[in-house]
């Protein structure tokens, strides 16, 4: 009887964690979507500076790579549905939304690491920038020559670097600042100590 009860508890543990994972994903992705509407700066051809990155980073470093990638893909899908007016055809939909936001989940590689939220944010945002950069030199190259950040660009590579690099650098910096401010009060959760402890039980 005791062995059966222990077995039931062990089976219930992963089930509870799975339910909690889905619940946190829904909450943090929804929070990121809401924060994406509070634009500190909106660029003319898509791209903006918001506080939306941090909730996605938090989820990824708490739950790991696969859940992080899936949650960020879901966020990218929401962005396409509700903010897809800046998409220029299927290539832009793929590169600027579905593929661009998914790599933010790479922060999950640093789950449980002391500085994981910071390293993961830099890695995820850099990979997102790379995809936006590719979009800039392929989909948006027709905009060149054009002026951005006060400079006239005639080369699509330099244009994409300056345009996408500006808002991605700002978004990365904001996410890092928020992580630094919340690291001490939320350390247990950022390091997923509550989850890792539950898995060991």
- Asked if residues 47 and 148 have their Cβ atoms less than 8 Å apart, the reply is no
Write down all domains in the chain, each with its CATH number in brackets: 2-200 (1.10.1760.20)
Using alpha carbons only, give the angle 24, 31, 78 rounded to the nearest 5 degrees.
95
Per-position pLDDT tens, the chain of length 201: 444 433 333 444 566 778 999 999 999 999 999 999 999 999 888 889 999 999 999 999 999 999 999 999 999 999 999 886 666 778 888 999 999 999 999 999 999 999 999 999 999 999 999 999 999 999 888 778 777 767 787 889 999 999 999 999 999 999 999 999 999 999 999 999 988 765 544
* Distance separating alpha carbons of residues 188 and 34, to the nearest angstrom: 25
Q: Which residues contact 74 (CB under 8 A, 6 or more apart)?
A: 25, 29
- The pLDDT score that the predictor gives to residue 197 is 63
Q: How far is CA 6 from CA 10, 66, 131, 154, 195, in A?
A: 6, 29, 48, 68, 19
Longest dimension (CA), the chain: 77
Q: Which of 123, 96, 98, 97 is nearest to 109 (CA)?
A: 123
């Amino acid at each position: 009887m005791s062995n059966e009860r222990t077995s039931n508890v062990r089976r219930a543990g992963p089930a509870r964690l799975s339910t909690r994972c889905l619940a946190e994903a829904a909450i943090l992705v929804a929070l990121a979507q809401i924060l994406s509407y509070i634009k500190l700066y909106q660029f003319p051809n898509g791209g903006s500076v918001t506080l939306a990155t941090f909730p996605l980073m938090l989820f990824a470093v708490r739950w790991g790579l696969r859940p992080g990638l899936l949650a960020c893909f879901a966020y990218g899908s929401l962005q396409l549905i509700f903010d897809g007016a800046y998409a220029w055809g299927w290539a832009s939909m793929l590169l600027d939304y579905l593929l661009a936001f998914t790599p933010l989940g790479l922060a999950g590689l640093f789950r449980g690491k002391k500085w994981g939220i910071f390293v993961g944010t830099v890695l995820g945002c850099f990979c997102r920038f790379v995809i936006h950069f590719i979009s800039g030199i392929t989909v948006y190259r027709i905009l060149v020559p054009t002026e951005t950040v006060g400079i006239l660009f005639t080369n699509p590579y330099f244009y994409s670097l300056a345009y996408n690099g500006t808002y991605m650098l700002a978004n990365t910096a904001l996410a890092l600042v928020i992580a630094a401010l919340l690291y001490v009060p939320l350390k247990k959760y950022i390091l997923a100590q509550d989850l890792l402890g539950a898995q060991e039980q």
